[in-house]
Amino acid sequence: MKPEVRVRFAPSPTGYLHIGGARTALFNWLFARHHGGKFVLRIEDTDIKRNTEEAMAAIYEGLQWLGLNWDEGPHAGGEFGPYLQSERTELYERYLKKLQDAGYIFEDQGALRFRSPREHVIVDDIVCGKIDFDLSNPATHPDMTIRRPDGSWIFHFVNVIDDLEMKISHVIRGEDHLSNTPKHIEIFRALGATPPQYAHIPLILNRDGTKMSKRDEGARVEYYIRRGYLPAAVGNYLCLLGWSPKDNREKLDIDEIIRIFDLKNIGRSSATFDPDKLHWLNGEYARELSDAEFYDLAFARLKSSGVKLDKFPEKYVRAALQTCKGKINTFDELPAYCGFYFTNDVDYSPEGVSKHFSAENKPRLKAVREALSALEEFNAAEIEATLKSTASKLGGKVGAIVHPTRLAVTGSNVGPSLYHLLEVLGKERVLTRIDRALTKF
């Protein structure tokens, strides 16, 4: 029987969850789900001075938002806990004594260092292939510190001990850790243990080729939560950063990704983060939402942005938001896209005013007002027929009256279907807004 696949995501709570960290967590989660294994969340919080509760909460929130439920870890428990390194000191002391007794540890100015065996270490990486690291020269590879003079632990040591104790079978992490791996393998060997299999995934770069840093606006998972992205779309996009399904598809259901996910399909070259592609993909997911899902998300987004939806009948709000479905890519676009439904004091786009509130358009808008006021049935079909008839009488195309009419009632050049939004607003609101616009000409 094959040993159980056990992988881990081990972030440090010193900053918000980075999009690269989220991608690493996702690849680990996919690998575990593909093999029916376990996904472990371990918090590497030994850097007491830089750890924050806010960063810890952001890690939990970001992973939960993406749907990356962990099988073991904080809040989930498990037989290999505790899952915060700050609570595992006794364990580290035991392993330190093992290495001391075996002659691998020496003191240097109050710090404890691991005495390297001074040999070549071959890392057989699932993604990067076999790499021969020459650790024989102390000038280029000095003995690593594993404990600081103040008693705090260094990442290299506790990382290995936790992977060993938690029976981690595969370590999937960013390729910036590749150079650390031979050092980790040395500690495993010194403890008489077999190292896990390693897979180092390519880094995520900005479009200009620079490494995504936490200072970049789109580098935090929290940014996508705040902007109203859909977690399924973000997860789908992150999968494509380094991994490929090999058939050029870009939109894949998570269950299918789990079914076909293979570390051997991760490329070696760095992955370029394209915000425009993610924005497009999110729109594709938004279009597939049910009416109920779209309404709930749209309602929450508008309310959180300060739109007073409670002042309006639910039937009106539902009809208004329905005209937006399939027209936006992210939910933070909604206040600008459909805010006109929920205020009588619309602000006119300066560009629209200069283009459509012209002297020649004033009589056109007056004609539209007159035609609409005569309608007994104020629905999209009747409105469309009326505007087309009015344009014909004026001797022009319907676009010549559509644009000034839209600007008059919404204040914008873009938005939902004009005929449908006029129906939702209702005859009285529409005529009042056209009258207001006419006085602004």
- Residue with structure tokens 């505007």? 387
Q: DSSP letter for 344, please.
A: S
Q: DSSP letter for 342, please.
A: G
Q: What share of the chain is helix, strand, coil (3-state, %, to 5)?
A: 50, 15, 35
Active-site residue, from 98, 167, 214, 251: 214
Helices H, strands E: what count in the chain? 18, 11
Best CA proximity match to 218, nearest among 277, 299, 285, 298: 277
Q: Which helix (H) or strand (E) holds 105?
A: strand 105-108
C-beta of residue 424 within 8 angstroms of C-beta of residue 319: yes
- Cis peptide preceding 82, ω within 30 of 0: yes
d(CA 303, CA 295) in angstroms, rounded, equals: 12
State in Å, rounded, how far the first CA of the chain is from the last one.
80
d(CA 318, CA 322) in angstroms, rounded, equals: 6
What tokens appear for 43 in the block? 């918090």
Can you tell me whether residue 386 is helix, strand or coil? helix
214 included as an active-site residue: yes
C-beta of residue 356 within 8 angstroms of C-beta of residue 343: no
**Count of Cβ atoms closer than 10 Å to residue 355 Cβ:** 14
| Helix axes 427-440 and 362-373, enclosed angle (nearest 10) | 160
- Tell me which residues are annotated as active site: 214
